[in-house]
Amino acid sequence: MLIAAARIITACGAGSGGPPVLAPGYVTWADGRITAVGAGQPPAKPDLQLHDGVLVPGFVDLQVNGYFGVELAAADFTGWLTVARRLAETGTTAFMPTVITSPLDEMAEALRRAAEYHAKLADGSQGARVLGVHAEGPFISPVRPGAHNPEWIANPDPAAIEALIAAGGGNLRMVTLAPERDGALAAIKQLTAAGVVVSVGHSDATAQQVSAAARCGATMVTHLFNAQRPMHHREPGVVGQALADSRLTSSLIADLHHVSGQVAAIAFVAAPGRICLITDAAACAGMPPGAYVLGGEPIELSEGDGTPPVRSDGTIAGSALRMDSAVANTVATGLGISEAVTAGTRIPADLIGRSDLGRIAPAAAADLTWLSDDLRTIATWVGGEQVFGPHLS
């Protein structure tokens, strides 16, 4: 397959050997892998010519609680398949199903089911690739629970950590925890030794405690600014340490409701190359206003314009965000389109060790999204197969 495009954003990093933007450019692939990327006119007649918009890597979303009416923690395989197939509508080609704080035995059971589903959906042959599971909790701070039920928060003791690792069967890929909890630093070492990415989140930690977490192996901060100790000029808190510490990459919910555009812009300036976009989408995403569920408890979506759902007390509970909208919103804050796309593609892929995803480069997976000039998804390919959009030829 040979595609020529008016503009291609490769999302390749420094030292990758290629420019981040090709205008025009072309991409070829075979057997699901990119074989060549070049600037200018293609070497042969293209199979597909994209005269407008921009061709980008497929988006990589590290926090998806649910979508299209499906709560992934409770869903059967049919529900997971629905989400995997339809996420391509938003430009997402790889995602991390997320389970939030619940009783430990229920989280373990959700991880066991997820391990079974992951085996069927990891290769992208049925839609967006499943990257493993993100457990957001239950080892979080009761001071910063957000939409999590404080009654289900648990201590990160070695037995509890091992129970989740074992239940995941190698598919537990990320854990968000609060590093100030007793036993948390040992838990970070235990998790990272098992190949799990550890993220600081739902935390009232001081900057010093966050730094200690990074020394123990934590590499991420979950939804920067939300449900964490804010930055103060005498105590930088989670936010200040996240922005200043080169060991940490922060996820950001760019719906412009969780975090204002001005503050999001500050984050990108303060931590260039260390912000990745996520949706934190709940079951209401892609659905009309109404009643839905997050973490087994009710949420309400009152508007359909990207406004996030809330608990009965008004607490924001996940989002209704699309990844293409997250990129568009980030560009609207003043970030360059290449940097915004990279925040939704290569940066999250690199964070979880998937150098085959999130970039348009030789040997990478042929996971691609064609965006309109207003950055809305027109067509999506996973492993070189078109999975969304009009028939193109």
Q: According to the model, what pLDDT value does residue 289 have?
A: 95
Q: How many domains does the chain have?
A: 2
Q: Is residue 307, in this structure, part of any structural domain at all?
A: yes
pLDDT digits (tens, 9 = 90+) for 318-330: 999 999 999 999 9
Per cent of the chain over pLDDT 70 is 98
Location of structure tokens 């839905």: 292
d(CA 118, CA 130): 6
322 in the same domain as 224: yes
What's the CATH number where 149 sits?
3.20.20.140
Tokens of 271: 């931590």
**Confidence class for position 14, pLDDT limits 50, 70, 90:** low
Higher pLDDT, 146 or 19: 146
Distance between CA atoms of 184 and 393, rounded to whole angstroms?
A: 54
Q: Which structural domain range is residue 22 located in?
A: 2-56+359-388
Residue range 11-20: average pLDDT? 70
Predicted confidence (pLDDT) at residue 369 exceeds the cutoff of 80: yes
Mutual angle of helices 237-244 and 207-215, in 10-degree steps = 50
E strand or H helix at 197? strand 197-200
Q: If 0-12 CB within 10 Å is exposed, 13-18 middle and 19+ buried, where does residue 256 land?
A: buried
189 and 161 in a common domain: yes
**How far apart, in whole angstroms, are the C-alpha atoms of residue 182 and residue 187?**
9
pLDDT given for residue 72 in this prediction:
97
Full DSSP string of 161-179: HHHHHHHHTT-EEEEEE-T
Looking at the structure, tell me whether residues 177 and 276 fall in a common domain: yes
Question: How far from 72 is each of 129, 196, 349, 383, CA to CA, in Å?
Answer: 14, 20, 21, 23
Lookup result for tokens 């030292």:
15
Confidence of residue 18 (pLDDT cuts 50, 70, 90): low
DSSP 8-state code for residue 89 = G
Give the confidence band of 339 by pLDDT, cuts at 50, 70, 90.
very high
**Band of residue 19 on the pLDDT scale cut at 50, 70, 90:** confident
pLDDT at site 392: 81
The pLDDT of residue 96 is above 80? yes
- Crossing angle for the helix pair 158-168 and 184-193, to the nearest 10 degrees: 30
Residue 309 · residue 324 · CB < 8 Å? no
Q: What is the pLDDT of residues 113-126, one digit of tens each?
A: 999 999 999 999 99
d(CA 175, CA 83): 21
The residue among 23, 28, 22, 36 whose CA lies nearest residue 2 is 28
Rounded to an integer, what distance in angstroms lies between the CA atom of residue 81 and that of residue 199?
A: 27
Q: Is 221 part of a structural domain of the chain?
A: yes
**Residue range 35-92, pLDDT digits in tens:** 999 999 999 999 999 999 999 999 999 999 999 999 999 999 999 999 999 999 999 9
Average pLDDT over residues 179-185: 98
**How would you classify the pairing of strands 92-100 and 133-136?**
parallel
Residues 51, 196 share a domain:
no
Q: State the pTM of this model.
A: 0.97
Residues 189 and 235 in one domain: yes
Asked if residue 17 has pLDDT above 60, the reply is no
Query: What pLDDT is stored for residue 393 in this prediction?
Result: 65
Q: To the nearest whole number, what is the mean pLDDT of the chain?
A: 96
3-state SS record for 219-258: CEECCCCCCECCCCCCCCHHHHHHHHCCCCEEEEECCCCC
Supply the pLDDT for residue 306. 80
3-state SS assignment for residue 385: strand
Structure-token pair, residue 103: 């009783």
Q: Where are the beta strands (DSSP E) in 52-196?
A: 54-57, 59-64, 66-67, 70-71, 92-100, 129-130, 133-136, 172-177
Q: At 368, which CATH number?
A: 2.30.40.10
Cis peptide bond upstream of 138, omega within 30: yes
Q: Is 70 exceeded by the pLDDT of residue 286?
A: yes
Q: Give the SS3 label for residue 139.
A: coil
β-bridge partners, 55: 8, 370
Is residue 393 included in any domain, yes or no? no
Residues 161 and 218 in one domain: yes
Q: Is the pLDDT of residue 15 over 60?
A: no
Selecting among 280, 324, 350, 367, the annotated active-site residue is: 280
267 shares its domain with 342? yes
**Assigned domain for 119 exists:** yes
Is 373 marked active-site?
Answer: no
Lowest mean pLDDT among 264-278, 300-314, 325-339: 300-314
pLDDT of res. 345: 98
> Which pLDDT value is given to residue 13?
72
Cβ–Cβ < 8 Å for 277, 301: no
- 330 and 181 in a common domain: yes
Averaged pLDDT, 1-10: 97
* Domain match, 52 and 63 both: no
Whether 174 and 43 share a structural domain: no
CB 93 within 8 A of CB 383: no
